Structure 1
C-alpha cells in the first residue's frame, strides 16, 4: 500500500496519501505488539501531529465518529453485529483540514468490555495508551455520565501516571521525553443516544454544564462523599480543558446496521448537526501534541512514544487494574495517615503546655486534635476497606495520647521538684545553721514551713504530681 507520493516527503499536508487506516498496535491474544509498517509511516512524517484518540465500550459508534473526522464514511471498521470489530489501536494519518502543515492522526481503539475477550486488564492497557499518545482524548459513553464511567476513567488515569513513571527515557534522541511528555490531553466526552433533558434546577443547561455538574465535588467530610469526590477531583486535575457533546440516536434502530452507507437525509437532522459540531470543535480546538519545553511531536517522536509505552507494558511493569487500585489505596491512605498525624503533632505542640493543671485538660486537648486528625484522614483517604487505615490512625493517636500522659507526668515531676528546691532550699539551710535550735524555734519552724507551703501551692502549672511530691 502506497502512503506517500513518489519522491516526496511529508513536509506539506497535501503530500499525505493514506487511503485508509492501518493497525498501529496489534492485540494478539491479549499481548500488545507494535506494527512495524505503521511505524515506518510515522517515521516519515516531519510535520507536527494533532493526535485524536477515542475510547469507549464496544458497539457504541466510536469508529463512525473517527471516520467523520477523516472526512470519510468508511475507513475504520464499523461493525453491524454484536461482535467487536476493532482490535488493538488503529491509526489513520490525514491532512489537517484547518491547521496548515499539520497532520491529523486518528487513533481508533478496541472497544472496552468485549464479552468475547473478557480481559479487563487488556482493556485498561489500551485505554491508558490512548490517553498517553493523544493530544485530544475522546471518551465515548452511552446515554449519560454515570459513576462507573467516572471510576473507570479515574483508574486509567492512575494507570497512565504509573506507566509514564516506569517507562524508560530512551526515545531515540528525544531527551527524557518519556518523563517530560505533556501527556495530559484535552478531554472530549461524547454521550451517544443521549436521552436526558439538559436541565438543572428548572433551567436549561449546556452539555458542558452537564459535564461540569457531574464532576462537581461535595463539600462535607463524610467518608462516602470522599470516595465520591476522589475520581472527580482526579479527572478535573488531569484534564485542564474539557468539552462535552451529546448525540441523539442517529436513526431508527433497524437502520443502524447500515449507518456508514446512509446519507445525511436518511439520518436524524439533530444527529447530523451534532456530528458536524463535534468535528468542527476537534478541527478548530485540538492542539498539537507537545513534549516538555513546547517541543511539538512529529512522526518519529510519536513512534518513539509508542515503542516506549508498549515496551513498558510488555515488560510487566504496568500493574493490572485490581493491583493498581490496591496500590493506589495503599499509597493514598498511608499518606492520609501521615498527614493526619502531622496535623495532630502540630496542633498538640501549639496548644499543649506541659505540665497541664490536671489530666482532664490534657485529655480534652487530645480529643480536639484527634477529631481534627481523623477528619483530615477521611478527607484524604481512598477506599479504606474495613477502615483498616483509620483503625491504624486511631491506634497511633492512642499511642500519642499515652506518650503525652507520660510526658505530662515527667514534666509535672520536674516542675514540682524544681519548685520545692527553690522554695524550701533556704529553709533547709536555716535548719543546718541551727536557726531553729533555740527555745521557741520549733514553733517558728512550723510557721515558716506553712508559709512556704502556701507559696508552693500558689505557684501555677505544677501538674498532677504537686501533691504526691510534697507529701
Structure 2
C-alpha cells in the first residue's frame, strides 16, 4: 500500500499473496463486497526475486528469459482437485492483483564455504553472475519506480506518505484491517486543514505588512485584500487534497473575510485617531479663542467663520481620502 514495487521471494509462502485482500480493504463499507478489482489501481508492480537459482532457464527445452520463467511459474493447472486448487489460487491472485510483473533470478552469491560470513565478504569473493543480476535489479528498481499514486490518481508526496504510514500502523496496531478509503479520508482532513492554515498565513503576512501603513484609503485596502486572497487560495489549492465538496475552500474564504473585516476595523480606528489628532492640533488656536470669548465680541462671527474655514481647508488637504475624514469633520462642525 506504500511501495512502488512489491518484491516477492518464492521461498516465502506463496499463500501469503492470497491473504493480501483479506488484510486490506479499499472501501469502508461493512458489507462483504469483493473489491479485489480496485486493488489493481493502487497496488505496486510485482517483482519475483528468485534466490539461489540453480535451475536452467528452459521451457520445453528452449532458453527462456527471466520474465518467461515467471509466467511459466504462474501457469495454472487444469482440474478441480484440492491439490490443483491450492496450486492455482496464489497464482491466480498474483495474475489478478499484479498485472505488471518482472522476474530476476539470482544465482548462488558465493562458494558454499563462504555462506556463513556473507556480510563480511569482499565484493571480489561474490559471484560475477550474482553481481550482474543484482546490478540489473537495482537499476530496475531505481529507474522503473513510478511515482506512488492513490486509486484516484493523487500523487503521494513524502508528507502524504508519512500520513498514510502512520494511519496504517495505527490501524494495524488496534487490530483492525487497514482501509485505503478511511486512510485517504483521514489524510484529506489533515492535508486540507493544513492547506487552510497555510493560506491564512500567506494572507495575514501580507496584511500585517500593509497594516504598518494604516490608515489607508479604503480602495487600497480592498485591492490588497483581493490580491492576498488570491495568493492564499492558490496556496491552499497547491496543498489541498480531495476537497471535492469545496468544504475547506469555503472555510478558507470565510476566514479570509473575517480577517478582512478585522483589518477594515483597524484601518478605521487608525484613520479615526489620525483625523482626531490632526483636527485637535488644527483647532487648538480656535478652541483657545472660544475660551477667551474672542468670537463673542464685535466682528467675532466673521472671524469665527474665517478660522473655521481655514481649519477645514487644512484638514481636508492633509487627510486626503481617509475613511473617517468626514465623520470626524462633522464632529467639528457641530461643536
Which TM-score band applies after superposition, normalised by the shorter structure? 0.5 to 0.7
Shift of the alpha carbon at 1:389? 1.5
Partner of residue 119 from structure 2, selected from 99, 102, 112: 102
2:302 aligned residue: 443
Change (3 A) 1:409 1:81: same
Which of 326-335 and 401-410 deviates more?
401-410
Q: Which has the larger radius of gyration?
A: 2
Distance 1:396 1:379 in 2: 18
| Matching residue of 1:354 | 214
User: Which of 41, 49, 56 matches 1:66?
Assistant: 49
- The answer to whether the Cα contact below 8 Å between 1:163 and 1:318 also exists between their aligned partners in 2 is no
Which has more helix, going by share of residues?
2
Q: Distance in 2 between matches of 1:147 and 1:28?
A: 19
**Counterpart for residue 125 of structure 2:** none
Deviation at 1:102, TM superposition (A): 3.0
* Structure 1 position 425, deviation (Å): 2.6
Q: Distance in 2 between matches of 1:410 and 1:61?
A: 63
Give the conservation status (yes or no) of the 8 Å contact 1:78–1:85: no
Question: Alignment partner for residue 330 of structure 1, among 172, 189, 195?
Answer: 189
**For residues 61 and 362 of structure 1, what CA distance do their matches in structure 2 show?**
54
- Using the alignment, how far apart are the partners of 1:94 and 1:424 within structure 2? 99
Aligned to 1:21: 11
Q: Secondary structure at the match of 1:445?
A: helix
Q: 2:234 maps to which residue?
A: 375
What corresponds to 2:5 in structure 1? none
Q: What is the Cα deviation at residue 454 of structure 1?
A: 1.2
Shift of 1:347: 1.0
Whether the 8 Å CA contact 2:199–2:233 is kept in 1: the answer is yes
**Structure 2: stretches of 5+ with no match in the other structure:** 1-9, 25-38, 58-68, 78-87, 95-104, 121-137, 331-335
Tell me the residue number matched to 2:286.
427
Report the CA distance between 1:150 and its aligned residue.
8.3
Stretch deviating more after TM superposition (363-372 or 396-405):
396-405
Aligned residue among 81, 97, 100 for 2:76: 81
Structure with bigger strand share is 1
Deviation string, structure 1 residues 130-172 (Cα, Å, up to 9, x no partner): xxxxx9995999xx979978868956988863575479xxxxx
Query: Please, which runs of 5 or more residues in structure 1 have no aligned partner?
Result: 1-19, 33-54, 104-134, 168-308
Q: Which of 238, 247, 254 lines up with 1:395 in the alignment?
A: 254
Contact 1:343 1:373 in 2 (8 A): yes
Q: Label 1:460 to 1:426 Cα distance change in 2 as closer, same or farther (>3 A).
A: same
Deviation, structure 1 residue 84: 4.3
- Cross-structure match for 1:405: 264
Query: How big is the shift at 1:23?
Result: 3.2
SS at match of 1:386: coil
Q: Distance in 2 between matches of 1:158 and 1:320?
A: 19
Alignment match, 2:162: 161
- Alignment partners' CA distance in 2, 1:391 and 1:400: 14
Cα distance in 1 for residues equivalent to 2:300 and 2:21: 105
Q: Structure 2 matches for 1:33-432, cutoff 5 A? A: 62=46, 65-67=48-50, 69-73=51-55, 78-81=73-76, 83-85=88-90, 96=109, 101-102=118-119, 161-162=162-163, 165=166, 313=172, 315-316=174-175, 319-352=178-211, 353-357=213-217, 359-432=218-291
Q: Give the alignment's TM-score, normalised by structure 1.
A: 0.43
TM-score normalised by the chain length of structure 2: 0.58
